[in-house]
Structure 1
Amino acid sequence: MNIRRVTNEERLSTAFPLQAYAFEASPKRPEQAEDFRRVLPYAAANRTLVVTEGDETVAVASAIPMRQNLRGVVLPMAGVAGVTTHPLARRHGHVRALLHQLLDEMRDEGHPVSALYPFRASFYERFGYVGLPRARTVTLSPAGLAPLLRADLPGELTWERTGTGYAAHRAFTERCLAERHGFAILPETRAVWLRDEDDRWLVTARRDGATVGVLTYRIDDHDGELVGGPLLAADPYARALLLQFLARHVDQVARVSLQVAADELPELWLTDLDVHVEARIAGPGSPAPMARLLSLDALAGLPAGPARVRVELTGDRWLAGTHLLDGATGHLELVEDVSSAAAPTATLTAAGLSALAYGVLDPAEVDVRGLGRVPADAAAELRRLFPRRLPYLHAEF
């Protein structure tokens, strides 16, 4: 098996055609292939590996150098994307070999965490990934937001195209990255797609000169639907200001749909609000994201409760050995010499440890799911080390 990294220009004849077959309508007309060159600059920062047989590309996988907040610490993250195989070369182990090498390289270059959107979650769980919450889609009538039209809210709004408002939008996502657990953003080379396409409206909430909320959207037709991208707000006042803006479309659109984080409770936004909230998970077209630790370096220094536990890591290419996790100082310390350490022991897979670090599973759930063996005494310590938290990945890639 020949695996090699391709240059950005080489993507046009290797990675892009195979990825287009897997993730887009096909076959493409010859003139549609020109779209490949148009998107080429946005892939410049990616690391793309291909498997070749002779002159033919039979498998491809890419990693996007991103950043993610893990319990308040922003870390370099490998966003895995565009993983696909030629239809005549599937189930030959190509993807496994590609992912091993791709994650080896990203880990060695300092990316201690990774995330992806899977075609099948169980496949990537074997690579140590664990599921994260999927963003919710909220659908409602703008008429239901009418009470907000009478509210005197602090702040003001600006309304423009994404092409002109991109810089403020990007700056606010940087703020969210610093403040929200699980939040991830694309590199600037990829994120500028929003600016260059300029095909959405952007409404921005500001207070005292600072951006406190953003929402991108498009309207599909008169009496149709206002389709909003992620609603990002620093606080309830900022969220209400953005919803007040949507209420002004009552005589223009029949429906409003928005993406919100899993910790949002739209049914409590207003009294008597008729709202539908959905998080549909269905592969391969509607997956929930997954994430994993690639290095224990990701844990060092994280906020932690006062507890100590020994973990034996098993069955993984990147996380192995026995380590003492100590949160006595309020920040997690990793001790490799555990020979004399008195602490309860848990045996964890990479997915099990990742589930605890990202806060998506209780230690007992890790045990039930078969992602480790967690005795009751170790579970109590792990709960104090890794309190449950709800991550919000945000980025789609």
Structure 2
Amino acid sequence: MNIRKIEDRDLEQVYKLHTYCTGRHWTDGVPAKDSLAFYTPDEILGMFDDDKLVSMIRNYTFKQLVRGVIKNMGGVSHVATFPEYRMCGYVKELTKSVFNDMKDKKQSVSMLHPFKKSFYSEFGYVGANDNILVKVSFDALSHYLKHVPNIDAIWKEERERAVDIQEEYETFKYSLDLSNYHGLVFLDNMSNEYWVDDHEDVIVVFIKKDDEIVATAKYLKIGYGENGKLMVLEMFWKDIESRFMIFRYFAKHTDQFSHIEMRIPFGTNFYTWLSDSSRPFEVKINNRPWMVRIIDVLDALRDIPVKTDGKVFLELYDEYCKWNNGGYMLKTVGDKLKITKLDNIIPQLRIDIRGLTSLLYGIYSVEELEFKNWINIIDNDISEILNDWFPKQLINNPYYY
């Protein structure tokens, strides 16, 4: 058995393995050439029995907003093994190899949607949160169809095929006030072939105010009438007016579908969006939340904005990304965090990669990390500094890969 990057000649095998292990239609025949464009060889590592692909893992080339700073991110997906080769530890070996691939590509953080949380926990990933899915009747949006005199501008709704507007859509995301989008994934590095395959049935609406895009959404039309729904995959807006206008666009589908489903950030007070919050609605939360991990500590923590002056010496342990092991000094310079790797420090705390990941992403407080034994505070004076530097936050990323 050997692990190597996928080559063009392996793509048919990748297609067959991926489709066998997912909900995609599987066939043992020769796949159409167009269907292979979905797979980018440089992103995929394979375990081979001679030249036969038996297991694989994909490392998507994404960017992610972490506490207001954009970091290069490795998105783990397409973890698959043929059943006759399972329970042999191949995915474990591929996962260790993909960490090296991320390091080589200077991806300092990683995120995934786990097939099994306990599996990835062993590799230093920490469970965060997922989005919520809200289902409401279109009657609850009826007030958006009324005349609103205080929204004074030339408004335009432009409906597009998502496959045609990758650059325009991602550019708008970068234009937003991103302070509320911790964990958001950007897809501007995604290959056009994968974007097209992934967005084949997706519709995008742009809301324009005086010819400037101020809101957008990706959505799907599913069914019709009582058995139909408008499924909003993600939506972004610049202000209250533009939020009102995008919901006005959704409300115009009231005679076409019975209800709307919206994928929205966990913790959002969606009641204020509805005309009558007492109407029946459903809320679902995925039981497999996002999991995150630091891959390169030096880049992951560099320039994170902080509000409290301070200096902390820590000793870090990382079983799988061993380049992270050692001593570090964290200190504030201006309003940003600076990090330096140092030898022979006297640590004020000892922490493992799960603990440091939890702080960076705002998953646990210092007290919770102490309870979980992911951190050992030696100097009690630094607990307050760490909590001030890394307040708890929720992940807000609606894109699933």
Task: Indicate the TM-score class for this superposition, using the shorter chain for normalisation.
Answer: 0.7 to 0.9
Give aligned pairs, total: 387
* Equivalent residue letter for 1:227: M
Q: Identify the match of residue 369 of structure 2 among 350, 359, 366.
A: 366
**Is residue 253 of structure 2 the alignment partner of residue 249 of structure 1?**
yes
Percent of residue pairs bearing the same amino acid type? 24
Q: Which runs of 5+ in 1 are unaligned?
A: none
Residue 293 to residue 60, structure 1, CA distance change in 2 (3 Å):
same
Residue 4 to residue 335, structure 1, CA distance change in 2 (3 Å):
closer
Please identify which structure carries the higher strand content: 2
8 Å Cα contact 1:49-1:60 kept in structure 2: yes
Q: Identify the match of residue 348 of structure 1 among 343, 346, 351.
A: 351
8 Å Cα contact 2:37-2:193 kept in structure 1: no
* Equivalent residue letter for 1:372: I
Distance 2:97 2:220 in 1: 40
8 Å Cα contact 1:177-1:185 kept in structure 2: no
SS of the counterpart of 2:123? Answer: coil
What is the TM-score when the length of structure 2 is the normalising length?
A: 0.87
8 Å Cα contact 2:140-2:275 kept in structure 1: no
**Is residue 264 of structure 2 the alignment partner of residue 270 of structure 1?**
no
Distance 1:167 1:227 in 2: 23
Q: Which runs of 5+ in 2 are unaligned?
A: none
Q: Deviations over 1:197-228 (max 9, x none)?
A: 55233221122432221112232233121122
> Residue 19 of structure 1 aligns with which residue?
18
> Residue 334 of structure 2 aligns with which residue?
329
Distance 1:188 1:271 in 2: 38
Q: Identify the match of residue 40 of structure 2 among 35, 41, 44.
A: 44
What is the TM-score when the length of structure 1 is the normalising length?
A: 0.88
Shift of 1:320: 1.3
What do you get for the CA RMSD once the two structures are aligned?
2.7
> Residue 168 of structure 1 aligns with which residue?
168
* Equivalent residue letter for 2:37: P
**Is residue 183 of structure 2 the alignment partner of residue 182 of structure 1?**
yes
- Alignment of structure 1 residues 189-204 onto 2, 5 Å: 189-190=191-192, 193-194=195-196, 198-204=200-206
> Residue 240 of structure 1 aligns with which residue?
244
> Residue 397 of structure 2 aligns with which residue?
393
8 Å Cα contact 1:164-1:195 kept in structure 2: no
SS of the counterpart of 2:175? Answer: helix
Structure 1 runs (4+) deviating above 6 angstroms are: none
8 Å Cα contact 2:177-2:238 kept in structure 1: no
Q: Which moved more, 1:45-54 or 1:382-391?
A: 45-54
Q: Deviations over 1:251-272 (max 9, x none)?
A: 2211111111224221222352
Distance 1:12 1:174 in 2: 36
8 Å Cα contact 1:327-1:385 kept in structure 2: no
Distance 1:110 1:364 in 2: 32
Shift of 1:281: 2.8
SS of the counterpart of 2:285? Answer: coil
Residue 45 to residue 6, structure 1, CA distance change in 2 (3 Å):
closer
Shift of 1:132: 2.8
SS of the counterpart of 2:349? Answer: strand
SS of the counterpart of 1:49? Answer: strand
